Structure 1
Amino acid sequence: MHRSRFDEDIRPLTEFRSGAASFLRQIHETKRPMVLTQRGRGVAVLVDVHEYEAMQERLELLEELYQADRQLEAGEGIGHKDAKARALARLRR
Structure 2
Amino acid sequence: MSRIHLDQDIQPLSEFRAGVASFLKKVNETRRPLLITQRGKGVAVVLDVVEYETMQEKIELLEEIRTAETQLAEGSAISNEDARAQILGRIKK
Name the TM tier (shorter chain).
Answer: 0.7 to 0.9
DSSP-derived class of the 1:35 partner: strand
Q: In structure 2, what is the equivalent of residue 51 of structure 1?
A: 51
Determine if the alignment matches structure 1 residue 34 to structure 2 residue 30. no
What TM-score does the superposition give when structure 1 sets the normalisation length?
0.85
What TM-score does the superposition give when structure 2 sets the normalisation length?
0.85
Q: In structure 2, what is the equivalent of residue 3 of structure 1?
A: 3
How far apart, CA to CA, are the structure 2 residues paired with 1:11 and 1:73? 46
C-alpha displacement of 1:3: 1.2
In the alignment, structure 1 segments of 5+ residues that lack a partner are none
One-letter identity of the residue aligned with 1:9: D
One-letter identity of the residue aligned with 2:71: Q
Q: In structure 2, what is the equivalent of residue 67 of structure 1?
A: 67
Q: In structure 2, what is the equivalent of residue 22 of structure 1?
A: 22
One-letter identity of the residue aligned with 1:5: H
DSSP-derived class of the 1:26 partner: helix
How far apart, CA to CA, are the structure 2 residues paired with 1:15 and 1:44? 14
DSSP-derived class of the 1:45 partner: strand
How far apart, CA to CA, are the structure 2 residues paired with 1:52 and 1:40? 25
In the alignment, structure 2 segments of 5+ residues that lack a partner are 86-93
